A and B are shown apart, each in its own frame.
Chain A
Amino acid sequence: MRQDWRIIGLFIGGVLVLGTIVGGPLLYSIKLSFYTAASFIDPPQWVGLGNYVKVLSEPLFWGSLLNGVTIAISAIVLQVVLGVTIALVLNRQFVGQTVVRALSIVPYFLPTVVACLITQWILDPNYGLLKSVFASFGYGMFDWGGNSTSAKATIVLVSVWIWTPFVVTCVLAGLQSIPGQLYEAARVDGAGVMKQFWHVTLPGLRSVLIVVILLRGIWMFNKFDVIWLLTKGGPLNETETLPTLAYRKAFLEFDLGGGAAVATISFLMLASIILIYLRVFPIDEAKQGR
């Protein structure tokens, strides 16, 4: 076979760029996790697995892991359920369908910081819109940031608000690729709406959902911006997750080795989960199955 050197050149170039901007910091971070340094100034000192032992022995690490998993799973479940439901509605013909489809993706365009500021503005216990609404019914405003459950719920809510349109878009594209004959055949066989959904729609969306859940899982597990903007990991570390813990250790407590160890463990955990996930739900087979 004749080699196309331009393609090989582009490939090597791409690998080099990726290796530099992704691999470089990754390897540096992993290296840093074997050293201890009180700040960016102190010369790092080799401690082997010391940072890992220290980090893994901290209840805060396990609490942060649990918080991250809780927030990620809650958000993904809601995003997928809502996303599929909205996509099913938008997949039907109705007047103004194009406009509604366009509007449905608007939250996805919102910068995260804007979405978080709007949320804070609505929920502010002293000036917030919700406070006025509650007061008009004679109820007091709850302190959403002072309670573990409501603080987590707020993070999930904002994540669902911003990212559900992404799920809607992907699922809508998937729905349009399911052949209409399958539904006709199902109806001929006497399948109702629910049976059509379970036996035609869901299998048809399998590959899309596998990718969507994978991507949303990665992004939610690594979620930093929404959590930091809304709660900074509080109250009492109840919304601390591994990314915020890594940031806190490295950039607020200047325990660079500890922060790098948290980040490396988080990376390894995520990589392992992705490998298992793809083994259980192989994307290629899903495509073939469809």
Chain B
Amino acid sequence: MDKLSLGAPSSKANVSDIDRRRFLKTTAGAAAGIAGSLSAPYVNAQSGVTLRILNAETTAASQSALRDACNEYESKFGVKIVVDSTPISGGYAKSMAAINAGAPYDIATAGYIAHILQYAMAGHIVPLTDLVKKYSWGKQGTWSYKGENWFYPYDYNLVTVFYRKDLYQEKGLKVPNTWAEFLENCRALTVAKDGNIERGGCVIPLASDSATNWASFGNLFADAPKFYDDKWNVVLDAPENAGPTGRFLDLYADLYKTMPAGMNTVSYAELMSLFATGKVAHTVYSGRVVEALEARNPDLANKYGIFASPDSAGKQNALSFAFDGFILYKTKQTEAAFKFLQWFIDEHYIRWLHSAWMNFQPARLDIYEDPRWKNHPMIQKHWATMEQMKSFIDEDSKTVLNSIDMTGPSFDLRPCKVFDANIMPEMLQNRVLKNMSSSDCVKAAADRIRKIG
């Protein structure tokens, strides 16, 4: 076997013992390593680092997408990533427990503005402004606090009204432009038998929970009453706001009569399942309804349509929403976590969006033109719906986007307390379960908002 001489032998090793094959392998390996490290801006000398991700997207597809990305990252860059998945309701407590235990997560998915604001205020997360500014985003797709972007969004969770096109056609109905038309359509599509509502006109939740806060106030937002003035005084019960809010409560009370029983305990899942099983003619939810239809009732997946919640006068419409995104905690490994996030966004963002192909409606506008995303067969199939959803977030869209936790003159924890305390759902309950007058309900809600500060 030929031997290679590599100059003077060192005192520790006799390199003259190295054969040609080993030399070539070693050289090639070293070259590949150097090339790899130079060509990978994401990672430099990160081996030995373990990152922890708190993931609140718990569908199998989303977990799988994230896990595959992490495995690939580890195999490429030697950075181990541990993914801890938890239902969204448990995310905050888990995250805070980790922070208080001195071992915060490195990255998390988050959506609720109260949590992100609190993390930012307390200095637990780092700004992602540079990353966010690389792209253009849909209307209100990003938000800033103290001039910085604190999370990298991936979806909108717009609450659209889903309706049955086949039933509309059968009854000769048209998509409603006013509250009155919406009510009439719901009444027309209600089927009652033996004292039971066999098919409800609509389902709009009434429980004291996040589902009701999120999904039940599209019609109210369309009439745009203010909860606070510019100085954060509560003005919900001022005449100009109490009027539309009270009329909205009357509308809800009328719609309630067309709903199946159990609205007080209806969950996110039931908002979908009632529609997917044909128990209601309208429901309010995000794009996940389409995924549920394809999975459980494909026939119905060809017969649905969506619209934004109309106002009382037919002048504008509105959608409630609640975006989701990634946040980065301030840890000793923030730099490594940032590099992973950057790599994930470049390499796996599309697959992540595909893991909930209709629910993860992109907040980033360039995605809508990206063939890698667009060519997903289900997105192709429901492209008309996706285009309609995109039209709601275009900058020139007249559709109002709002949410209980984002009302007020700026992003702040005060409306989040209104959300957490279920003040608005209980306003609805006072109207329909206690039969209080609308004006009393509004007054009681406004007083509670003042009380919680």
Q: Is the CB of A41 within 8 A of B121?
A: yes
Q: How far is the CB of B116 from chain A (nearest CB, A)?
A: 12
Given the complex, which residues of B lie within 8 Å of A235, measured CB to CB? Answer: 264, 429, 433
Interface status of A145 (Cβ within 8 A of chain B):
yes
Q: A233: CB under 8 A from chain B?
A: yes
Residues of A within 8 A of B264 (CB): 143, 145-146, 234-235
Q: Which of A6-14, A197-205, A249-257, A278-286 contacts B (4 or more CB under 8 A)?
A: A249-257
Q: Does A24 contact B (CB under 8 A)?
A: no
Segment at the B interface, from A77-85, A131-139, A161-169: A131-139
A126 in the interface (beta carbon within 8 A) = yes
Over the window 236-264 of chain B, the binary record of Cβ atoms lying under 8 Å from chain A Cβ atoms (1 yes, 0 no) is 00000000000000000000000011111
Q: How many residues of B contact A (CB 8 A)?
A: 34
Which of B47-55, B69-77, B135-143, B413-421 contacts the other chain? B413-421
Counting CB contacts under 8 A, is B265 at the interface? yes
When distances are taken between beta carbons in the complex, the residues of chain A under 8 Å from B93 are: 40, 251
Q: What number of A residues sit within 8 Å (CB to CB) of B?
A: 31
Given known A41-B96, A131-B196, contact A126–B121 (CB-CB < 8 A): no
Q: Which of B175-199 contact A (CB under 8 A)?
A: 194-196
B430 within 8 A of A: yes
Contacts of A63 in B (CB 8 A): none
Flag if A41 contacts B208 (CB, 8 Å). no
CA distance A141 to B196 in the complex (A): 6
Flag if A125 contacts B260 (CB, 8 Å): yes
Q: Which of B124, B194, B433, B452 contacts A146 (CB 8 A)?
A: B433
Shortest distance between the CB of B425 and any CB in chain A (Å): 9
> Which of B99, B194, B274, B277 has the largest count of A CB atoms less than 10 A from its CB?
B194
Within 8 A of B (CB), among A26-60: 38-42
A231 contacts the other chain (CB 8 A): yes
Once the chains are docked, how many angstroms separate the CA of A246 from the CA of B279? Answer: 36
Q: Which residue of chain B has its CB nearest to the CB of A240?
A: B208
User: With contacts A41-B96, A232-B209, A234-B208 known, is A146 near B195, CB below 8 A?
Assistant: no
Check if B426 is an interface residue, CB within 8 A of chain A.
yes
Contacts A141-B261, A146-B264; A236 near B421 (Cβ below 8 A):
no
Query: What is A's interface to B at a CB cutoff of 8 Å?
Result: 38-42, 120, 124-127, 131, 135, 138-143, 145-146, 231-237, 251-254
A-B pairs with lowest CB-CB distance, top 5 = A140-B195, A125-B261, A143-B261, A145-B265, A40-B96
